[in-house]
Structure 1
Amino acid sequence: MSITIGEKRTLNVESLNEDIKLFPPVHPITPDMKLTHKGVSRLVMLDRYTFKDTEKITLSNGDFVVLTIKEDPKFPARGLGFIQAIDWENKTATVLVEEEFRGVLDDPDESTTGIIKRSLDVMEKPLELFYEQIAKRNATGLAAVEKTEQKRKEWFEKFYQELVSMNFIPAGRVLYGAGAGTDVTYFNCYVMPFVKDSREGISEHRKQVMEIMSRGGGVGTNGSTLRPRNTLARGVNGKSSGSVSWLDDIAKLTHLVEQGGSRRGAQMIMLADWHPDIVEFIISKMQNPKILRFLIENTNDESIKKTAKEKLKFTPLTIQEEAMYQGIVNYKSIPGYGGFSADIIRSAEEKLATGGTYTVHNSEFLTGANISVTLTKDFMDAVENNAEYELRFPDVESYDAETMKVYNEEWHKIGDVREWEKLGYKVRTYRKIKAKELWNLVNICATYSAEPGIFFIDNANDMTNAQAYGQKVVATNPCGRAA
């Protein structure tokens, strides 16, 4: 028996089923199987959700593989293809990439022929080529909790019929993990408790985020409990580097932890509108120098100007560059611009007018996460009333030892400066800002960099049924914010 996949290439089913026998969780291919999906859905199924021979113990010439066809540190491209030859000594293989995936190949010969040579480390052999195989594995795993063989068979059949008919499609982590015998999470996304405001608390939070992502889950974090930049840290007789710098450290885990060998994790990081670091947080991911200059020139708030200036990097023209751009501009008076386009001449004029090139500092800052601002009703009322808004945080600098002990034990459970103040603890107002200035900053940055998103946290807590269980909304996972 053979099946046709990809570009009318055939795969020997008997041979593949022999390989499958070495992997107990995988169900063999049978003649009635037909669901393979198409396009991106097919690639996602084979790359993310199928059981694979990751150790390559059955890999041989002619095998169908999923692999990284374009290696990029941030955005690797995956594709499908067939093994043409394997060099076991050098741990590489020559692969014929399916035609629909060749568009991302930079090398002209590779993109034309589809023949590429890649490390074995970036390719895997999927053993489940049909959705029915995944459905059988999932049904087996879900029915495994039953105590008798008869019940396991009964519930396997019930689960399988619902899955294979697509009346019910589990989340991706269930598709990947159920019945596979692997130590992965069955939950797609998690929301973490507030971060405890200490080095130990941050380290523990970071550890848990790493563990969740390594098992395939996405993570949401609210960093509003971390003390602001330059706030006194008495224990080390120094000052805090601020919430945003610590949140960047947590976000970097996304780039470090691979999930299933092919995907990066996903994080959502949030900060409250009342937090004194909120301006730095909002601007932190702005990569457009023109927008930073626009902010500097069009805001009346000095902290926004200062933060935008700190993000903006200016490199003056060298003498040689200035001469080159002036030479280009000189062609402006010549018919046809001496072969230069009008856009090139305008760009040269702009470079001369500004005297250099604007870029941004820390272009990779917080890129491991999406970011959102948690918006309160108090803030939105201040926007509507064109009022000032206080940026506040517990006044840890003035706390005595007893109060500091309470802060260390309780603040991360509260996570809201308004509630903390109601409990009778002193709160410091770091400064005031016109609410509309902050609101405009959110909108400008979101418009031109798609960050930050917004999350109406008071509304979420008013409407959540979690309150019935004595809980509250802290943040959302990456799927739950408004972009």
Structure 2
Amino acid sequence: MTVALKKTIKINVERLNEDIRAFPQVHPITEDMNITHKGVSRLVMLDRYTFKDTEKITLSEGDFVVLTIKEDPKFPARGLGYIISIDWQAKMAKVLVEEDYRGVLDKPEEIETGIINRSLDVIEKPLEVFYEQIAKRNATGLASVEKTEEKRKEWFEKFYHELVTMNFVPAGRVLYGAGADTDVTYFNCYVMPFVKDSREGISEHRKQVMEIMSRGGGVGTNGSTLRPRNTLARGVNGKSSGSVSWLDDIAKLTHLVEQGGSRRGAQMIMLADWHPDIIDFIISKMQNPRILRFLIENIDNDYIKKAAQDKLKFTPLTEQEKTMYQGITNYKHIPGLGGFSERIIKDAEEKLRVGGTYSVHNSEFLTGANISICLTNDFMQAVENDAEYELRFPDVESYDAEGMKAYNDTWHEVGDVREWEKQGHKVRVYRKIKAKDLWNLINICATYSAEPGIFFIDNANDMTNAQAYGQKVVATNPCGMVA
């Protein structure tokens, strides 16, 4: 492609308006429209909030598109460009990428020309390229509930004025969904009720999370009602795999569900500080082997050490690797020979000294969610007083038929072991731990892996106006925090 063509290619507004006629939800481009935003804001608007020709009915050469420029399984890069040619049989297209998005290209010919060959599956054609189009669609959708045409027109004008002047900017799910005539949510994020501690309850919770995420909503879950690891499950005469394992299963939905629009799913998963699985939960997302080794060597708590040891993975050197690293270290003893930097030689010496390499087990564990700890006033007082803190849960192993019925019927509505005990139900203390040890563990993991966050749940419930409606705070959604 010539330099001249690269400079002159632009959106063909007249042809785009012709394409828009096939989509009654979309308002045509008019001469007074000028809001496109810049930089990342422009990409986010076009990628996440605009109405698109998802079936590619109108896609043709010269079209302006949003696409995945770098197809990385974990961190794909999106960008903007123009269709140069389409091979419908192969379902591929050549795209001229806008200069701002070429920095992630790695093939020499792509870097030189800016032209890439991509599957049509990762290419989308936005029909709304100005913010005013989105504002008009939103205003139309929001005013559509009025009963008369006169009222719909009146409220369209009011809504449109507030939106287009940006006196009010709705949440992303409203921008994407309002007026689009699609089954997506108008809420960005949700908080789920406590999970009922049964296979059926977990399955129902999982189903609801999946439905919300598929329509574009983020979800907050508190798993504190799920019984701890190795607790008896009488119905199947077996042991529970624990709350953290079940929460990981729910978190995996983030990777599995393709959301309404193009954004990835979002989840916040929480566990209370009194839950017996809390140490496993805190360490679950630690990816740094050195920090795990530090915990093992410096924390004076056997359970924390065991949890760190369970997460840490050691792979012994093979004979071939030993020979290779020994060969590298030998270089420093031979005058005049180079080829290895001091850093490489030190690394080889360290591997020989240790006898292998450290990594982590389950590196993908809970990666579909952010995690946070629900901190209680009781725990924080124990930290201040340098006291022991009890990790406890309803004593389901000792309940008779009547006790289990009460547990199955109401525990998920209470969701707090302190309140459960006040109601007269038996509670089991699984272990005691110095509160400062647990507090230090939270801080170490948060410092070196950015998780867990902390949520002062007692403070939230003391201050919320939800109490006036007979409700309480269970968790936050992914947008609500983390501390």
Question: For this structure pair, what is the TM-score category when the shorter chain's length is used for normalisation?
Answer: over 0.9
Residue 306 of structure 1 is matched in structure 2 by: 306
SS in 2 for 1:81: strand
- Identity of matched residues, %: 84
Residue 240 of structure 1 is matched in structure 2 by: 240
Residue 3 of structure 1 is matched in structure 2 by: none
Structure-1 separation of matches of 2:371 and 2:170: 27
Deviations 1:402-438 (A, max 9, x none): 1101100100000000000000000000000011110
CA contact (8 A) 2:195 2:223 kept: yes
SS in 2 for 1:349: helix
CA shift for structure 1 position 23 = 0.2
Please tell me whether residue 406 in structure 1 is matched to residue 406 in structure 2.
yes
CA contact (8 A) 1:93 1:117 kept: yes
Residue 43 of structure 1 is matched in structure 2 by: 43
AA matched with 1:120: L
The 5-angstrom pairing of residues 432-451 of structure 1 reads 432-451=432-451
Residue 222 of structure 2 is matched in structure 1 by: 222
Residue 3 of structure 2 is matched in structure 1 by: none
CA shift for structure 1 position 447 = 0.4
Structure-2 separation of matches of 1:337 and 1:465: 73
CA shift for structure 1 position 335 = 4.9
AA matched with 2:237: N
Unpaired segments of 5 or more residues in structure 1? 1-5
Deviations 1:302-337 (A, max 9, x none): 011101111111011111211211221122234576
AA matched with 2:473: V
Residue 316 of structure 2 is matched in structure 1 by: 316
Deviations 1:132-178 (A, max 9, x none): 00000001111111111111111111111111101110000000000
CA contact (8 A) 2:48 2:261 kept: no
CA shift for structure 1 position 103 = 1.0
Please tell me whether residue 330 in structure 1 is matched to residue 327 in structure 2.
no
SS in 1 for 2:287: coil
When normalised by structure 2's length, the TM-score is 0.97
CA contact (8 A) 1:195 1:202 kept: yes
Structure-2 separation of matches of 1:168 and 1:482: 25
CA shift for structure 1 position 231 = 0.1
Residue 466 of structure 2 is matched in structure 1 by: 466
SS in 1 for 2:391: strand
Residue 112 of structure 1 is matched in structure 2 by: 112
CA shift for structure 1 position 7 = 5.7
The 5-angstrom pairing of residues 16-55 of structure 1 reads 16-55=16-55
Residue 158 of structure 1 is matched in structure 2 by: 158
SS in 2 for 1:219: strand
Deviations 1:352-401 (A, max 9, x none): 11110001110000000000000000001111111110000000000001
CA contact (8 A) 1:50 1:127 kept: yes
Structure-1 separation of matches of 2:468 and 2:387: 34
CA shift for structure 1 position 348 = 0.9
SS in 1 for 2:206: helix
Moved more, 45-54 or 67-76: 67-76
CA contact (8 A) 1:7 1:98 kept: no
Moved more, 98-107 or 129-138: 98-107
CA RMSD, aligned part only?
1.1
Residue 148 of structure 1 is matched in structure 2 by: 148
Residues 336, 270 of structure 1: alpha-carbon distance in 2 compared, 3 angstrom cutoff: farther
CA contact (8 A) 1:210 1:257 kept: yes
**Alignment length (residue pairs):** 478
When normalised by structure 1's length, the TM-score is 0.97
Structure-1 separation of matches of 2:464 and 2:30: 46
Residues 396, 43 of structure 1: alpha-carbon distance in 2 compared, 3 angstrom cutoff: same
AA matched with 2:438: L
Structure-1 separation of matches of 2:229 and 2:160: 54
Unpaired segments of 5 or more residues in structure 2? 1-5
Structure-2 separation of matches of 1:352 and 1:323: 10
CA contact (8 A) 1:275 1:393 kept: yes
CA shift for structure 1 position 263 = 2.2
